[in-house]
Amino acid sequence: MVRNSPTARAGALAGIAAMLGALVAMQFMAMLLETRQFIDALADGLLVLIPLDWFSWLKSTLGEQAKTWLYAGLLLGFLVVGALGGWIVAMAASQWRRRVPQCTAILLLGAISLQYWFDRQQFTYLFWPILIVLTIGAITWGMLIWFQLDAPRFATYQDTSRRHAIGAVASIIGTLVLGGNLLTLYKRQAESTIEAAESDITPAITPNDQFYRVSKNFSDPANERGLDWFIEISGQVDEERAWRYGDLQELGVQHTITTQLCISNTVGGDLIGTAEWTGVPLATVLNTVGAHGDYIRFHGVDGYDTTVPMERCTQPQAWLVWGMNGEPLPESHGAPVRAIIPGLYGMKSVKWLTEIHVTDENALGYWERTGWTNEAVVKPISRIDFPRRTSSLTEGSIPVRGIAFGGDHMLDRVEISTNGGHDWQTATITEQPNPEGIAWSLWHYDWQAEPGTHTLMVRMVDTDGEVQTDASAPSLPDGASGWHKVDVLVARA
């Protein structure tokens, strides 16, 4: 004969195993229904709620793996909630069977409330798929709790083994799947930036697989509609309409080369890339629908939004693009279509674009609501790609190479110092992918190096004679600034 009411420890352990199973069930159901995962919605919501000072500290402390740690923390939180639910069930003693549906209902209502609070737009748009996913998760948790704690009055060895096996299988599957998610996220964050001078030579056009990838998402949305996707243009326009792939192509397929720079980039960082984009000028689309507002509000399928002044969107260099370096736009870079707004940081070039809303309101966007700048104007940057601090150098002729990008500031020249800023020499501009200045420039300087320790520094000067500022500033809230410096050791020949 066995005890008819579970112990608190047994309830907590059963709750953890049940939560692992519930998370896996929700993940697969979300994939099946092509909707967003609950944990992704919570993560996005938490990112917005984190104060800017805390965000800055987390980013500087955890680096590019901050999202990985956040995901791990959320998983731990789910397990704590599962354990707490199992403990509450067990504390009901002989009445625990009545407590299971009550706790299941509370978990479901709590999940629905959190999803609505953190992801209201997606929740409204995909109400039934999201509701089904959350319901399946809650029911899975309740069933696994029940099967683990339900013991017959006279239990055999096989009965006990069955209950233990249910918990073990749920735990193993959950650990493998969720651990795989964590590992995938870790690799993705590690690969999201590419060493700028991995081959010591930065190409004028960044290959797609080396172009930096930054987004707010744990898992980026995929285009499930193929060529049936459309962009809705609404607001202060003469004609509201949905634009499909064929509609955009009828306006004329064109190509442009521009540089994208992430606002999170640090001085000397590699969150920058240049590509040849295929698409159509945004002004052509706006003129076709008769847009007459002061601002454009862009919306992405992942819930991201931001606002850009109309004069920025109607400049010839602002585009809607669906191709990148001669290939269809990769999903990780915003397929099927994204915006490209030169002169502004990448946070203004919305990926996975679904709506363009013309308005007179300069509303704050996703990141802007957390304290990031709303203007997002690119600050001039320059970078030394070679040599690096770890380079093995010998006295004599050493090629110093790098990039410079001014955003709205047209580049006039790049200056290099090999003695910590005491003297400056003009470098040679070797490549300018776009003569209009909306793409970076590659530069070269032939340094006759002497043995010893040297501090290399670089700065750009624009066509108005304005020198890139040496005032050091972090990326938060409006982009990093300062001169890039590299300390090198030159050996005797």
* Residue 215 · residue 302 · CB < 8 Å: yes
* Residue 274 · residue 440 · CB < 8 Å: yes
Same domain for 46 and 183: yes
Classify residue 202: in a domain, yes or no: no
Q: Which two tokens stand for residue 249?
A: 């192509």
Per-residue model confidence (pLDDT) at position 7: 87
When pLDDT is averaged across residues 112-136 and rounded to a whole number, the result is 84
Q: Indicate the pairing of strand 230-235 with strand 393-394.
A: unpaired
Same domain for 454 and 332: no
CATH number, domain at 484? 2.60.40.650
- In a 10 Å sphere around its CB, with 0-12 CB exposed, 13-18 middle and 19+ buried, how is residue 150 labelled? middle
Q: Determine the structural domain holding residue 465 and report its residue range.
A: 381-491
- Model confidence over 190-243: pLDDT tens digits? 554 444 334 567 999 999 999 998 887 766 776 655 567 889 999 999 999 999
Of 219, 99, 77, 82, the closest CA to residue 137 belongs to: 82
Classify residue 199: in a domain, yes or no: no
Same domain for 180 and 48: yes
Can the peptide bond before residue 387 be classed as cis, meaning omega within 30 degrees of 0?
yes
- In a 10 Å sphere around its CB, with 0-12 CB exposed, 13-18 middle and 19+ buried, how is residue 153 labelled? exposed
Q: Is the pLDDT of residue 423 over 80?
A: yes
Same domain for 91 and 161: yes
Q: Which two tokens stand for residue 83?
A: 């354990």
Q: Which of 317, 344, 370 is the last residue of a domain?
A: 370
* Residue 282 · residue 243 · CB < 8 Å: no
When pLDDT is averaged across residues 306-328 and rounded to a whole number, the result is 96
Q: Which of 191, 218, 244 is the last residue of a domain?
A: 191
Classify residue 139: in a domain, yes or no: yes
- Convert 200-224 to b/e letters by CB count within 10 Å (16 or more is b): eebebbbebebbbbbbbbbbbbebe
Domain count, the chain: 3
DSSP 369: G
Same domain for 219 and 110: no
Cβ atoms within 10 Å of 109's Cβ, excluding its own: 12
Classify residue 308: in a domain, yes or no: yes
* Residue 306 · residue 257 · CB < 8 Å: no
- In a 10 Å sphere around its CB, with 0-12 CB exposed, 13-18 middle and 19+ buried, how is residue 481 labelled? middle
Q: Is the pLDDT of residue 469 over 70?
A: yes
The DSSP annotation for 195-227 comes to -TTTTS---SS--GGGS----S-SS-----SGG
Q: Is the pLDDT of residue 324 over 50?
A: yes
Q: Which of 158, 191, 224 is the last residue of a domain?
A: 191
When pLDDT is averaged across residues 456-481 and rounded to a whole number, the result is 96
Whole-Å CA distances, 208 to 73, 125, 274, 333: 32, 32, 10, 9
Same domain for 165 and 109: yes
Same domain for 411 and 292: no
Q: Indicate the pairing of strand 353-359 with strand 230-235.
A: parallel
Same domain for 246 and 167: no
Q: Which two tokens stand for residue 224?
A: 């499930």
**Cα-based torsion angle of the residue sequence 292, 295, 300, 304 in order, rounded to the nearest 10 degrees:** -160
Classify residue 197: in a domain, yes or no: no
Same domain for 446 and 354: no
pLDDT above 70 covers a percentage of the chain that reads: 84
Same domain for 126 and 23: yes
Give the whole-angstrom CA distance, residue 168 versus residue 423. 68
H or E segment and range at residue 434: none
Q: Which two tokens stand for residue 219?
A: 């898992």
Give the whole-angstrom CA distance, residue 209 versus residue 83. 42
245 vs 306, which has greater pLDDT? 306
Classify residue 348: in a domain, yes or no: yes
Per-residue model confidence (pLDDT) at position 189: 52
Give the whole-angstrom CA distance, residue 105 versus residue 261. 46
Same domain for 221 and 157: no
pTM: 0.79
Alpha carbons within 13 A on the beta-carbon side of 229: 21
Contacts 24+ apart (CB under 8 A), 28-37: 29/132, 29/133, 29/136, 29/137, 30/129, 30/133, 33/129, 33/132, 33/133, 34/129, 34/224, 35/122, 35/126, 35/129, 35/130, 35/133, 36/119, 36/122, 36/126, 36/130, 36/221, 37/133, 37/218, 37/219
6 vs 264, which has greater pLDDT? 264
Q: Is the pLDDT of residue 257 over 90?
A: yes
399 vs 60, which has greater pLDDT? 399
- Confidence bin at 443 (pLDDT 50/70/90): very high
DSSP 271: -
- At position 118, the amino acid (one-letter code) is F
Give the whole-angstrom CA distance, residue 399 versus residue 420. 17
When pLDDT is averaged across residues 121-127 and rounded to a whole number, the result is 75
CATH number, domain at 322? 3.90.420.10
Classify residue 51: in a domain, yes or no: yes
Classify residue 467: in a domain, yes or no: yes
H or E segment and range at residue 90: helix 66-90
- At position 89, the amino acid (one-letter code) is V
DSSP 481: B
Contacts 24+ apart (CB under 8 A), 329-338: 330/208, 331/220, 331/221, 331/222, 331/223, 332/213, 332/220, 333/208, 333/211, 333/213, 334/300, 335/223, 336/223, 336/225, 336/227, 336/229, 336/245, 337/229, 337/231, 337/245, 337/248, 337/279
398 vs 178, which has greater pLDDT? 398
Same domain for 83 and 18: yes
Of 347, 430, 414, 341, the closest CA to residue 382 belongs to: 414
274 vs 76, which has greater pLDDT? 274
- Convert 11-32 to b/e letters by CB count within 10 Å (16 or more is b): bbbbbbbbbbbbbbbbbebbee
